[in-house]
Amino acid sequence: MQQRFAAYLDSLARAAGHADRAVPLESYCTGLLLPGERKSVEPMAARLAPEDVRRVHQSLHHFVANAPWSDEALLEKVLHSVLPVMKRNGAVVAWIVDDTGFVKKGTHSVGVVRQYCGQVGKQENCRVAVSLSLATEQASLPIAWRLYLPEIWAKDRKRRKETGIPREITFATKPAIALQQVRKAVQEEVITAPVLADAAYGNDSRFREGLTELGLEYVVGVQKSTTVWRAGKAPLPAKRWKGMGRRPKLLRRDKQHQPISLKQLAESLPPSAWKHVFWREGTKQKLRSRFTALCVRVAHRDYWRSELPAEEWLLIEWPTEESEPTKYWLATLPADSKLAVLVKLAKHRWIIERDYEELKQELGLGHYEGRGWRGFHHHATLCIAAYGFLVAERSRFSPSARAGHLDLRTQKIPPDFQPRGSSHSRRTA
């Protein structure tokens, strides 16, 4: 294992550019995988070199906060190193779009505002990053990562300069960022698969249309208020041309001819439309619920269209113990797709939640204490790189391989050492 780890780090070091970056890269990734409460620079330096903390701290800090190596190049190298091992246990079945939040005090760290934070399930002072991951049945790996920059930050020249936000970074919604990541992966000829996303992305019609334009299938969550035309129904055709003026082209509606919401459609279905489906083994029992799938046409702004939108699958979950349906998905999988296939793919987003949990709890994804754009992304890239080694080890041998349990060489930390950010320190990050 140590030989494989050394070879893996050596391949990553070449992607980082200058030879003088090899040692801090290897040290940083090693520090992330060692056991310890905090995975910020100072405590990692203490674990790596307890007799020379200051020098190693400075080296690691410069490497992560200031050195101009490419996050994209390093993540690409991680992908090419890890994906072949992942595929030994099965093909890539999905691309997963998601985001994760990091609670952060103050207003000076890049991207921090009061916004919804999934980590705590409510509005909180935090920053949010968008990611794209590749997933097999058993494993997944983030391949793209970018901070969501709120509009108030994007327009603030002073804070942009202080945190080193690149000039080319402008305000973009999370779905727009995700679509950029997907487009880049397609351009780089990454092996394709259906794109999975929750309703925060699926509700955006431009996101869905962008995926279709790229030739990608999707299974994405949508809200119950989304309107559709049920199978066999569609908008009215354009008005008849009377021989004068422009020929009418736009589809129409009238008071008697209107689409319905997904909730209305679900509640209109007969009991026989619903089937119980099992999709995977949970930690305690088989995961199953009640679903139905039918073909619809999305009605969003179709009165500005001249051609009918294509039919796609609508998947609905309505657990027997609930008073109304709980989840809805739109999917562009083939017309002959089975209900069980739709359900299994829609539910496969759970795997990225496992990734985020381990990246945060075991590898310190949220422990970076700097304020700058470059440092935030460099730290995340190195966390993903270290996580990639764990994914490869699990795919090769042990599904239980974890950070802190890899038998890497550790040194005893001085008993009086108290890093910033620890629960026992009076100093603050």
Are residues 187 and 113 part of one domain?
yes
| pLDDT winner (highest mean) among 104-118, 322-336, 383-397 | 322-336
Mean pLDDT within 130-139: 96
> Per-residue pLDDT tens for 302-360?
767 767 788 999 999 999 999 999 999 999 999 999 999 999 999 999 999 999 999 99
Q: pTM for the whole thing?
A: 0.90
State whether residue 196 is helix, strand or coil.
strand
Model confidence band, residue 164 (pLDDT cutoffs 50, 70, 90): very high
pLDDT at 396: 84
> Per-residue pLDDT tens for 71-81?
999 999 999 99
pLDDT at 411: 61
In a domain, 415, yes or no: no
pLDDT greater than 80 at residue 418: no
Least confident window among 248-257, 343-352, 381-390: 248-257
Of the candidates 202, 195, 193, the one whose C-alpha atom is nearest the C-alpha of residue 222 is 202
Are residues 8 and 145 part of one domain?
yes
In a domain, 379, yes or no: yes
pLDDT greater than 60 at residue 425: no
In a domain, 391, yes or no: yes
Are residues 118 and 267 part of one domain?
no
In a domain, 312, yes or no: yes
Are residues 363 and 302 part of one domain?
no
In a domain, 157, yes or no: yes
Look up the domain containing 154 and give its range: 2-194+352-396
Are residues 321 and 356 part of one domain?
no
What tokens appear for 81 in the block?
Answer: 């190193």
In a domain, 260, yes or no: yes
**pLDDT above 90 as % of the chain:** 74
Are residues 153 and 36 part of one domain?
yes
Q: Answer with the one of 304, 332, 360 that is the final residue of a domain.
A: 332
Are residues 361 and 326 part of one domain?
no
**CA–CA distance, 330 with 219 (Å, rounded to integer):** 6
In a domain, 173, yes or no: yes
In a domain, 253, yes or no: yes
pLDDT at 17: 78
Are residues 141 and 107 part of one domain?
yes
Instruction: Please give the tally of structural domains in the chain.
Output: 2
Are residues 116 and 254 part of one domain?
no
Are residues 94 and 25 part of one domain?
yes
Are residues 57 and 14 part of one domain?
yes
> Per-residue pLDDT tens for 258-310?
889 999 999 999 999 999 999 998 878 899 999 999 999 998 777 677 677 88
**CA–CA distance, 264 with 269 (Å, rounded to integer):** 9
Mean pLDDT within 218-238: 88
Are residues 101 and 132 part of one domain?
yes
Of the candidates 412, 416, 380, 291, the one whose C-alpha atom is nearest the C-alpha of residue 72 is 380
pLDDT at 427: 41
State whether residue 399 is helix, strand or coil.
coil
Of the candidates 224, 194, 200, the one whose C-alpha atom is nearest the C-alpha of residue 348 is 194
